[in-house]
Structure 1
Amino acid sequence: MSFSLHLSAVLWTLSVTTAHWCYQAQYSCNQTCRAPGDWFTIFPKCGGNRQSPINIVTNKVQHDPNLTALSFLGYHDAHNITVENVGHSAHFSLPPSLRIRGGNLMDTYKAVQFHLHWGYDASPGSEHTLDGERLPMELHVVHIKERYNSLEEAENDTSGIALLAFFFQESSEDNVHFSVLVDALGRVRNVGDSYTIRGLRFGEIIPGPHELHGYYRYAGSMTTPGCDQAVVWTIFQTTIPVSRRQLASVSRQLVFHSGKPMSEIFRPVQRLNGRTVYWSAASSVLPSRAAVWLCALGVLGRHWHTR
């Protein structure tokens, strides 16, 4: 091997071992970070065949009568919640007393944290898509099986993590409960910043249990490196209302390590690779995209009428 080729190989190896991952919006020619298409080069599991997020094709989902309503335990209790800017997102800690069971989950799962995925200045920013359409924002609530002591331990189990996903839908008014999170994000602008929300009732952020019978279920992965294929995904059809002003505010609050605004923090959709997406609704008639949106808008209207 010539010296120049040897040097190139060494430099390439060094770049791989020292590079860190980033979202596509962060990537530029003078960056050493790995954009989503290259995550697998430093995190091999990101190239697996059971990756997330995915595009949900609503006329191809399979109805599963075993997907009954989930039980939410402790979700309306008040807790002090700490949020931290972790460099690629903001993580809100959750106490393990928040648990979920039922819905054909094979275990009881305890909460670890929740976080958001968003776009740029109120542009679409969800990770999962519906019939190819990206929604305004997506909330992920991470749970692990009760017997595990950490997320890292649960990642070694193919169903060790239960991840709940909620889409947001733009509304004409601010969501008063979501405003608490917007305010908290404004207090953790830089990487490593943290802030404690006092007396948060997380159940007030998401739709009520009676609105959560309709959901999609599939086997997938974490959507950030190392992309461990250990997730049972539950993606609810009922959306969370949020105003355009709030959406824009979220995308302007935080910055990445580089100081660049933290926006467009979502991974592109991944190949389904033969997996089946299941649907829970009691009706035997599968939903079209139009029916999903009509349902969401109807629930949204009732949601605001009762507040």
Structure 2
Amino acid sequence: MGFSLYLTLLSVLHQGTGQWCYQDQYSCDDKCRDPENWAVQFPSCGGLRQSPINIVTNHVHPNSALPPLVFTGHHDVLNITVENMGHSAHFHLPTSIRLTGGGLPGHYQALQFHFHWGSDGRPGSEHTIDGERFPMELHIVHIKEPYGSLAEAEHDMAGIALLAFLFEETTEDNPHFNIVIDAMGRVQNNGSTTVIPNLRLSDIIPDAKDLHSYYRYVGSMTTPGCEQAVAWTVFHKMLPISSRQLVAVTQQCRFWTGQRMTDIFRPTQPLDGRVVYRSDAGAVLPGLMGMLLCVHSLVLGSVVLGH
């Protein structure tokens, strides 16, 4: 108990007032904001373009202006720094990892990837499909060039491109994922870091040829300040993880409070009139035309919502 209190005091001194937490962390004795009250401290969390959402497959709109994405640097061998951020573990990526295509209005460079999970093998994805929550979710965060930081990109409605991969539970281990779990075990406490040597992003996510099918909508970051500047891509292709690995993930890291890091997902948010699109691989338009039409869709969505 003394050690946990020490970690909490350090965190409060370091992070100041207005701390937020996930529902699993919250208790009546805490002063942190749980997800239902994030908007009190972070007004954007109460906006009309919030994420994650429940994707209702019968209501999505096929969009031929959404061609495959183009990945750069995903096969490069990297030394990746992993950091416990107090609410999740971030895997920092070099700017040589880039993203274009997919109807995105520009070129994007990677910042980091992270995961969202549940507790002891229970579902913990942020996005749901037809009401189903999946075992886990991977987010890869990119910012539009030439922005130099997330703070700069947040002022552009499509300044952030976020790729989301849902996981499915399998009987066999995903051999490439053990290195990720091991790294999390080396960053148990808030602020601790480690390095994963010789990792390829392509070891974790599927090859680009398998990623032509996806959902697209405009939304927000899923943690405070919930900036409404994200072009979301949620892929149909799922990533495998065994039940053993799923439980192991939840046992590696601790929150800034010293508690075990579990159930780190935000509840789904209202769609509030937004349209969710589905890429139409059978009717891909030329890259420039596809980009222009997708930008038009993003702008139209903003106008309809009054932003």
Q: TM-score, normalised by structure 2?
A: 0.86
Deviations 1:223-280 (A, max 9, x none): 0000000000000000000101111000111111221110000000000000000000
- How far apart are the structure 1 equivalents of 2:280 and 2:172? 29
1:67 matched to 2:66: yes
1:119 matched to 2:114: no
The offset of 1:283, in angstroms, is 5.0
Query: Tell me, what secondary structure is at the counterpart of 1:185?
Result: helix
The offset of 1:281, in angstroms, is 3.3
Root-mean-square deviation (Å): 1.0
Name 1:27's counterpart in structure 2.
Answer: 26
Count residues with an aligned counterpart: 268
Q: Which amino acid aligns with 1:133?
A: E
Name 1:296's counterpart in structure 2.
Answer: none
Name 2:265's counterpart in structure 1.
Answer: 266
Deviations 1:207-233 (A, max 9, x none): 111110110000000000000000000
- How far apart are the structure 1 equivalents of 2:170 and 2:279? 26
Q: Which amino acid aligns with 2:257?
A: S
- How far apart are the structure 2 equivalents of 1:19 and 1:147? 31
Q: How does 1:240-255 map to 2 (within 5 A)?
A: 240-255=239-254
Name 2:142's counterpart in structure 1.
Answer: 143
Gaps in structure 2 of 5+ consecutive residues: 1-15, 284-307
- How far apart are the structure 1 equivalents of 2:193 and 2:83? 4
1:134 matched to 2:133: yes
Q: Which amino acid aligns with 1:213?
A: H
The offset of 1:282, in angstroms, is 2.6
The offset of 1:18, in angstroms, is 3.0
Q: Which amino acid aligns with 2:234?
A: I
- How far apart are the structure 2 equivalents of 1:186 and 1:140? 20
Gaps in structure 1 of 5+ consecutive residues: 1-16, 285-307
Deviations 1:101-159 (A, max 9, x none): 01111101000000000000111000000001100000000000120111111111111
Name 1:162's counterpart in structure 2.
Answer: 161
1:52 matched to 2:47: no
Deviations 1:145-191 (A, max 9, x none): 12011111111111100000000101111111111101100000000
Q: Which amino acid aligns with 1:96?
A: T
- How far apart are the structure 2 equivalents of 1:203 and 1:152? 28
Name 1:4's counterpart in structure 2.
Answer: none
- How far apart are the structure 2 equivalents of 1:49 and 1:242? 33
- How far apart are the structure 1 equivalents of 2:157 and 2:261? 31
**Higher CA-based Rg:** 1
Name 1:181's counterpart in structure 2.
Answer: 180
Name segments (4+ residues, structure 1) moved above 2 Å.
281-284
Name 2:78's counterpart in structure 1.
Answer: 79
1:91 matched to 2:93: no
* Structure number with higher relative contact order (C-alpha < 8 Å, ≥ 6 residues apart): 2
Name 2:192's counterpart in structure 1.
Answer: 193
Query: Tell me, what secondary structure is at the counterpart of 2:175?
Result: coil
Name 2:223's counterpart in structure 1.
Answer: 224
